[in-house]
């Protein structure tokens, strides 16, 4: 594996694993400390909760797709990006193409609420809630990520989600546009299962 491949693989892993880092921290306490508030023994005012993730009306079953997750991103969509290699699953369970230019992660025990919690902790430079094919989604760029990196998190159910991460697909297209298009293709494949 070349140094470029290693860097791309690491970027994809960091984008997807950023979800779970710091799960044991108290987000409300971190928000208070970041705002400069001093901890107190008693608090008169109720703590403000982070915005909650939208509910999923028609859950998709990603557990069925976990055995063959690399097949969820259509070959035609990858070919349009100039990616011709088959997806391979790395040691972290992330399906990757073109040595990390595109990656897919299924989160079988984490819904979008985790992404919203990470937002409350200030972990993203960009955080844009939206919908992909009728499912709640968030388009993000993690703090200190390369300018040409983007992740789209899609809520498959209230307790499951998936992530498409794209790193500079061809030097021409916006990686967030590419990630959103690929996410829509994954939703369509999941809905057909």
Q: Which of 140, 193, 144 is nearest to 164 (CA)?
A: 140
**Where is pLDDT greater, at 28 or 63?**
63
- pLDDT grade, residue 115 (50/70/90)? very high
Does the pLDDT of residue 54 top 50, yes or no?
yes
- Quote the Cα angle for 27-19-143, to 5°: 80
Question: Furthest-apart CA pair in the chain: how many Å?
Answer: 59
Q: With bands split at pLDDT 50, 70 and 90, how would you rate the model's confidence at 37? A: very low
In this model, does residue 15 exceed pLDDT 60?
Answer: no
133-191 tens-digit pLDDT: 999 999 998 777 666 789 999 999 999 999 999 987 556 678 899 999 999 999 999 99
**Span 68-77, pLDDT tens digits:** 899 999 999 8
What is the domain partition of the chain in residue ranges? 3-192
The pair phi, psi for residue 125, each rounded to 5°, is -80, -35
CA distance 151 to 20: 15
Mean pLDDT for the stretch of residues 15-41: 40
Q: What is the pTM of this model?
A: 0.74
């Amino acid at each position: 594996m070349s140094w470029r491949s290693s860097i791309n693989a690491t970027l994809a892993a960091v984008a997807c694993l950023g979800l779970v880092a710091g799960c044991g921290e108290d987000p409300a306490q971190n928000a208070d400390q970041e705002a400069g508030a001093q901890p107190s023994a008693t608090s008169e005012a109720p703590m403000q909760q982070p915005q909650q993730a939208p509910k999923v009306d028609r859950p998709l079953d990603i557990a069925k797709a976990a055995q063959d997750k690399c097949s969820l991103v259509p070959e035609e969509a990858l070919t349009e990006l100039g990616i011709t290699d088959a997806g391979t699953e790395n040691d972290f369970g992330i399906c990757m193409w073109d040595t990390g230019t595109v990656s897919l992660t299924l989160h079988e025990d984490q819904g979008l609420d985790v992404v919203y919690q990470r937002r409350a902790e200030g972990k993203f430079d960009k955080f844009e809630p939206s919908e992909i094919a009728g499912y709640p989604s968030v388009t993000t760029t993690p703090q200190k990520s390369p300018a040409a990196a983007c992740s789209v998190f899609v809520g498959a159910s209230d307790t499951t989600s998936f992530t498409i991460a794209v790193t500079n697909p061809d030097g021409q297209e916006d990686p967030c546009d590419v990630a959103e298009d690929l996410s829509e293709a994954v939703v369509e494949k999941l809905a057909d299962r």
